[in-house]
Structure 1
Amino acid sequence: MIDKTTFLNTGLKQSTLNEDLYPIIKDICDNVKHLGDEALRSYNQTFDQVETTQLEIDISTLQDAYHRLDEDLRQALHQSHERISAYQQSIKQSEQQGSSECYEMYHPLESVGVYVPGGKASYPSTVLMTVTLAKVAGVEHIYVVTPPQQQGIPDIVLAACYIAGVDRIFQVGGAQSIAALAYGTETIPKVDKVVGPGNQYVAYAKKYLFGQVGIDQIAGPSEIALIIDETADLDAIVYDVFAQAEHDELARTFVISENYACLQQLEHKIQQTLSTIERQPIVEASLSNHHFLIHASSFTEACDLMNTIAPEHASIQTATPRDYLNHVRYVGALFLGHYSPEVIGDYVAGPSHVLPTNQTARFTNGLSVNDFLTRHSVIDLTQDTFSEIEGTARQLAHVEQLFNHEHSIKIRTTKEHYNNDKN
């Protein structure tokens, strides 16, 4: 257990990308840019030990995979998809907002690439939490890239692609897949934006290629911060911590409470339960290096700590969790109460689970349907409005010594006066 001051001085360190990877990522991206599919097949063999003569998976296999699934699993995918779709539709920006003379219009991106992690685990939820959003936005071309696997891409991932409406899917992973989507190859089309979580190679490739292609975020390790009190179900909190820690050894967990005894009891339960769980080595490694129990002196201090951590996931499990709504501001997603565990948000609540990490929630937000829309302003002034404001524009143009700007306005006012005199 530590207090706020100790935590801020020693515990709150941003997880940074490994700078040693930079030249490796640059070489991978440059090779894909110049060699295209040849580089992708070579990297599949080198990094994933899979020979892929065909990088694209036939779209017809998606439906076949869907029908091979157990009926209960199909229904679970459908319920998740339906809830995500309904929620995203409810928050989609309207086509026109503003006044009659100045307003904004929204348009879907034309093409999007979605990265779906693979390898040690399968993530159909990532498909649903990304592709569904793009579909609701109206994106015309939606492509998925995912690492090749020796036994083939799992049916559950292909079925999720089928339900969500993926147009094409490619078995390519890592930094090379991000480069392929950014530059385009003989097989993989160039896209406007790349989204989806991945490892450091994926994150660094996004950083390197940003500007060549749009990105959602540069993700760090997954994280959760909880505020609890004596009313919290500590047995449930233990598994909330474990659920986050099992993502990988770098996952970060923070628990804040004004009740010191509550934190002590939680730590005892964590140690008591740790040896009995699955994925225990990963969880133990995460907890050993990236787990913090923080004693707050007051409600305000607890909220300040949460806002400073700015976690990917924030969970409030106290007697009155809604009291925190106007005080906890900088989080990727906020989960209130015993029946809103973070894990529900991973799969079926509705908002996307692609969220900002590493304190970036202080200036950005989680993925939503609106991230697949572009917007532009429209200026459509009447003559009366122009006459009312043109003098200000001329003065500002003059003081900035942009004299052609000034004349662009002046010529209109001169002709206006001439036409009025003529009439």
Structure 2
Amino acid sequence: MLSKSEFISKFEEDRLVDETQTENVKQIINDVKANKDSALFKYNEQFDNVKLDTLEVPYHDIKNSINLISDELKNALQISHDQIKAFQQKIKHENVTSGQTYQLYHPIEKVGIYVPGGKASYPSTVLMTATLAKVANVEEIIVVTPPQKDGINPSILAACYIAGVDRIFQVGGAQSIAALAYGTESIPKVDKIVGPGNQFVSLSKQLLYGVVGIDQIAGPSEIALIADEHSNVDYIIQDLLAQAEHDEQARTFLISTDKSFLTKVNQKLQQAIESAPRKEIISKSINDFHYSILTTDVNETIEVTNYIAPEHLSIQTTEPSIYLGKIKYVGAMFLGQYSPEAIGDYSAGPSHVLPTDQTARFSNGLTVNDFLTSHSVIHLDEHAFQQIAPSAIEIANEEGLYQHKQSLEIRLSNNKES
């Protein structure tokens, strides 16, 4: 159990970045840029122990996948897709065409989506990314996912079919990001890459930003939970385990002003880990990256939470709404005991691709609008120009940009002459 100052000190120490893989990722990127498909086949064998004759999944396999999953899963994927689609349609930016200055929005032409496939299969990631791109009317949606010895999981392919993905390629890691950024004989060059991945995926996205657009540099997944003496201990414990089972480096934060509640959770947590199916992953995550934080009052709770800027924030206190507007930096906020973070991973509507590692201080979760570009339109009539040109002339003169000034003045003088 840590005080505010003890927690911050420990957390800063734990956040030290391991950059030892940067050079390795650079070599992979350069290899793919130079050798294209041959490099991808090589890395599939080297890193995934899978030898393939072709990288692309045939579309008839994608279409047929819907028949290879249970009716229950098919229905669940469809319900989730519909919920996500409805929410994203509601928040999509619309063109502003009134007045003499306005804004127009356009879908990105080609988007690449990275779908993890290492420790688990994530059809939810397909829905939480491709559905958004489809709502934005992206012209071509391409998925890359690590190759598997027995083929891509049918649930991934079915999710791609439901969400409207155009093409799927069996390649993962940094090599897949490089392939999407530069293009190969098989994989088209895209305009933007989205989707979560491991440190190699995140590093390659960081290194290739500018060559290609990206959504964010994702770190380990994380959740902060705010609880009080009335919170349900068992709910809190399961929410902690749900986050920890993602990855050995997943971070969990439990914040409360009630010392006895934190003690109860700590006493029952280890027992709960022992009965968890993914206990090896969970145990390492909890032992290395779980923070139990005792705050003095609500204000200090707010300060600590804004400092963490967590990917997910679950507030399970008696009055969770008192934190609205005061906690500003968070990827997604879940209020009350019946809004667990796990529902946001699958069916609530907002995307589960969210900022991590304090980046919620300056960024937000993936939305349909991340698949749109926009530009302003300036179409002034003579009267409007005459009204604002004098101020522009004054500023151009101050900046010493005399041809800017002349470009404006000549239009005013021509008007006076006429």
Relative to the length of structure 2, the TM-score reads 0.98
Q: Deviations over 1:316-342 (max 9, x none)?
A: 001111111121110000000011000
1:159 corresponds to:
158
**Once superposed, what is the RMSD of the aligned Cα atoms?**
1.1
- For structure 1, which segment, 322-331 or 343-352, has the greater mean C-alpha deviation from structure 2 after superposition? 322-331
2:80 corresponds to:
80
What is the alpha-carbon distance in structure 2 between the residues aligned to residue 342 and residue 12 of structure 1? 25
2:124 corresponds to:
125
- Look up the SS of the partner of 1:20 in the other structure: coil
CA contact (8 A) 1:14 1:358 kept: no
1:380 corresponds to:
379
Give the C-alpha shift of residue 135 in structure 1: 0.2
Q: Deviations over 1:22-79 (max 9, x none)?
A: 1111111111111111111111111111111201110111121111211111000000
Does the alignment pair 1:61 with 2:61? yes
Aligned amino acid, residue 240 of structure 1: D
Aligned amino acid, residue 156 of structure 2: V
Q: How many residues matched?
A: 418
CA contact (8 A) 1:15 1:220 kept: no
- For structure 1, which segment, 5-14 or 71-80, has the greater mean C-alpha deviation from structure 2 after superposition? 5-14
Aligned amino acid, residue 95 of structure 2: E
What is the alpha-carbon distance in structure 2 between the residues aligned to residue 195 and residue 119 of structure 1? 17
2:366 corresponds to:
367
Aligned amino acid, residue 347 of structure 2: V
What is the alpha-carbon distance in structure 2 between the residues aligned to residue 377 and residue 63 of structure 1? 40
Alignment map for 1:261-300 (pairs within 5 Å): 261-300=260-299
Give the C-alpha shift of residue 404 in structure 1: 1.0
Q: Deviations over 1:174-231 (max 9, x none)?
A: 0000000000111100000000000000000000000000000000000000100111
1:30 corresponds to:
30
- Look up the SS of the partner of 1:225 in the other structure: strand
What is the alpha-carbon distance in structure 2 between the residues aligned to residue 188 and residue 10 of structure 1? 44
What is the alpha-carbon distance in structure 2 between the residues aligned to residue 20 and residue 291 of structure 1? 24
2:139 corresponds to:
140
Give the C-alpha shift of residue 413 in structure 1: 1.1
Give the C-alpha shift of residue 16 in structure 1: 5.2
What is the alpha-carbon distance in structure 2 between the residues aligned to residue 15 and residue 265 of structure 1? 27
Aligned amino acid, residue 340 of structure 1: S
Q: CA 1:215 to 1:274, structure 2 compared with 1: closer, same or farther past 3 Å?
A: same
Give the C-alpha shift of residue 14 in structure 1: 6.4
Alignment map for 1:382-421 (pairs within 5 Å): 382-419=381-418
2:113 corresponds to:
114
What is the alpha-carbon distance in structure 1 between the residues aligned to residue 276 and residue 183 of structure 2? 44
Identify unmatched segments of 5+ residues in structure 2.
Answer: none
What is the alpha-carbon distance in structure 1 between the residues aligned to residue 169 and residue 302 of structure 2? 44
What is the alpha-carbon distance in structure 2 between the residues aligned to residue 50 and residue 338 of structure 1? 43
- For structure 1, which segment, 16-25 or 126-135, has the greater mean C-alpha deviation from structure 2 after superposition? 16-25
- Look up the SS of the partner of 1:340 in the other structure: coil
Does the alignment pair 1:19 with 2:19? yes
Q: Deviations over 1:237-282 (max 9, x none)?
A: 1010001111111110000001111110111111222211111111
CA contact (8 A) 1:313 1:342 kept: yes
CA contact (8 A) 1:32 1:180 kept: yes
What is the alpha-carbon distance in structure 2 between the residues aligned to residue 91 and residue 74 of structure 1? 26
